[in-house]
Structure 1
């Protein structure tokens, strides 16, 4: 719990709790962590719900348990499709799960995921925005983006959402790159556009861990300052269990969140 204890000092608007696509792990780990965040640290917790791997009865039971813990926020996702793990049949898409949760009592605040550079499985932008609008129409309260490194992509996406009638808050997901292994994995697997400035940092400091961390944090700080200045609803940091990353960013530009009344959240 050390990482969570350190994040407490940042006073984030929420901490989201990821989960595996394994029911027993969810009930043993995710609920335990969400309980600790919400009721010991006194920070609102958001529990992830993977639609593809939960039945309607499981969701009902989980919501009841969350309610008993005074946790009333969830992030409704389809979940990554993993061939070796059998899917459930009650919810084909995140929008199905959102609609189901919205119909339950008591009421939950529901976050949804979005992709500034189009979901990898979407054939085009029009289709992607169409299905995102479905999430909003059935009861999603706010959206949290996948990571991105080009702010212009985010603001173009935000404008497309507005044109489609998607007017709920869109929280920008930022992942500070602080080590070589993380950067290499990202370059190999992500569909996010990697600007020349980002690649230049990696190329120059690939074999200099301390400088790579410093430059990676500086890049994230620059992104966040620009996002806040240009009107992003808030920032969701993908900290990857490294509290010092969030603490460093807060120390550098924490005043911007207060001045602009913006959210700072962690995962």
Structure 2
């Protein structure tokens, strides 16, 4: 199923993101995660992989996406990065995705870093999106966007101009990088609309449930920490269970505010934590159902 069609029948599309197990973890961990998530009312589940984007990682992502589709009857979205790939690498991956009935792809450049050796066939995600659509127009391409500006862009206006290139290349739907201040998302949306971007945009939300996530998350994405968030972290830093509960509550409050302001989609970065994903989903499920019932009237 082309998930772009979901936005024609629903006011709010709810999705989850999982990632394959690390090399040091058993492969059973992801199967246990998916089993735990199976009952949640997700419209789709996206599957990411590590920054290196090796052949093994791409293969594992395809395997997990195929499992989500065949075993749990939930539409998968396969992440695909291009910086560390040749055109032939990408073509082989697309062959595999097509053979496994995977129709939706999140086209990404991929992070730069010591684990990545650029192959120079692709330098930006819009080039990958264009390549995918040329390979097979039936693939549905998604793109990423950045409410607080991509680290390689000098200004948010420049970043949005680059974002338009992804859409022109075929991206039908965008998912944001995580953020903790909804005002940044609203400001970004206003600018995007002013620039003529009309495709649905899902807000990416990551619940912070332990101290070790803070530095890793901020260094990974550059998201700013609003005062209310920092105060919460400092208040409960020495009480793991209280911090977990507070982090879940903060994410729920973010989502409720976004829904109240007519967001088109919520994309929950689960970090493969079934309990957290379940608690958040249960807290917002009736709110999303209510908005989607309004759409159908």
Q: Structure 2-normalised TM-score?
A: 0.85
Structure 1: unaligned runs, 5 residues or longer: 263-267
Is this contact kept in 1: 2:53–2:81, CA < 8 A? no
Tell me by how many angstroms 1:232 deviates: 0.6
Structure 1 residues 66-108: Cα deviation after superposition (integer angstroms, max 9, x where no partner) = 1111110000000001234321121110000011111122511
Number of equivalences: 262
Q: Output the CA distance in 2 between the equivalents of 1:188 and 1:74.
A: 26
Change in CA separation of 1:106 and 1:132 when aligned onto 2, cut-off 3 Å: closer
| SS in structure 2 of the partner of residue 52 of structure 1 | coil
The structure 2 residue matched to 1:219, chosen from 250, 255, 271, is 250
Question: Aligned pair 1:131/2:162, yes or no?
Answer: yes
Is 1:10 aligned with 2:40? Answer: yes
Structure 2: 5+ residue stretches without partners: 1-30
CA distance in structure 2 between the partners assigned to 1:142 and 1:169 by the alignment? 5
| Structure 1 position 209 matched with structure 2 position 209 | no
| Residue 189 (structure 1) shift | 5.2
Tell me which residue corresponds to 1:265: none
> Which residue number corresponds to residue 189 of structure 2?
158
2:116 maps to which of 69, 72, 85: 85
Q: Residues 170 and 201 (structure 1 numbering): CA distance in 2 closer, same or farther, change over 3 Å?
A: same
1:232 equivalent among 263, 266, 269: 263
1:53 aligns with 2:84: yes
Q: Is the 8 A contact 1:51 1:77 kept in 2?
A: yes
Q: Deviations over 1:145-195 (max 9, x none)?
A: 000011111011011111111100000000001111112433555421211
Cα 1:27–1:51 shift into 2, 3 Å: closer
Normalising by structure 1, report the TM-score. 0.94
1:64 to 92, 95, 102: 95
Contact 2:58/2:80, CA 8 A, preserved across alignment = no
Can you list the C-alpha shifts for 1:13-40, whole angstroms capped at 9, x where unaligned? Answer: 1111112224322244111111111111
Q: Deviations over 1:111-161 (max 9, x none)?
A: 101000100111112211110011111110110000001111101101111
Aligned counterparts of 1:121 and 1:188: Cα–Cα separation in 2: 14
Q: 1: CA distance between counterparts of 2:136 and 2:115?
A: 34
The structural deviation recorded for 1:208 is: 0.4
